[in-house]
Chain A
């Protein structure tokens, strides 16, 4: 089914400068896979080397954080909006 993936401003340069991309997907994992197959440069900013979503990359389906749904196996329905939202983290390199 067709769903809309909202591209956050910092990543638009790697997605043809588009604000959103429509993909065919039944789950969040499929949607992100379709997106990064289409725009390969996005992959390293979303996924770590082990293939998992980077720890600071969060995904929402409509207004729900997928951590509280079925994570990347969350089912999508026709017309759903998938948003990629970072959490911002950092700090000094010193041990706690």
Chain B
């Protein structure tokens, strides 16, 4: 599917990487806040969240529904939208797992950063198919300044 790239401000990308490094070797997670337009989608802010999977934080993350409601409220207060989620894969590739797919909805952008030996490496973004069968990769365009969304 042809889709415009996901625009991410360079400073926001640095914050995602820093969060992944901070929580390594555990997974980090958080909400992507921004704008979704007809021709583009842009991440304008982040809401870093606690990984609630205390039992298996090295290879799992969970954002509780209460935290999802907090993210929606935070976006509303900033007059933007909750457009997706980010998480890290410590010492694993930046590709969605089967477990990721089973717990996803279409429309959201899912950014994954691979953190290898404590260093951020590949960063990718994904959108789930309408039929839930697979993900499409979503190109990330790192921009110097947040742009207005059409």
The reply to whether B61 and A9 contact each other, CB–CB distance below 8 Å, is no
B interface secondary structure, majority: loop
The answer to whether B60 and A45 have CB atoms under 8 Å apart is no
Q: Answer yes or no: B104 CB below 8 A from chain A CBs.
A: yes
- Of residues B69, B89, B99, B105, which shows the largest number of chain A Cβ atoms within 10 Å of its Cβ? B105
Q: How large is the interface on B (under 10, 10 to 19, 20 to 34, 35 or more residues)?
A: 35 or more
When chains A and B are docked, how far (Å) is the Cα of A65 from the Cα of B65?
A: 9
Contact of B150 with A by CB under 8 A: no
Q: Is the CB of B69 within 8 A of A91?
A: no
C-alpha gap A85/B100 in the complex (Å):
17
Q: Which residues of the partner chain B approach A88 to less than 8 Å between Cβ atoms?
A: 29, 61-63, 68, 85, 103
Q: Does B81 contact A (CB under 8 A)?
A: yes
Contacts of B87 in A (CB 8 A): 90-91
Point out residues on A near B: beta carbons under 8 Å. 8-11, 13, 41, 44-45, 55-56, 58, 60, 65, 85-96
Extra 5 A-B pairs, beta carbons < 8 Å, given A10-B107, A91-B59: A45-B132, A60-B65, A92-B27, A92-B59, A95-B59
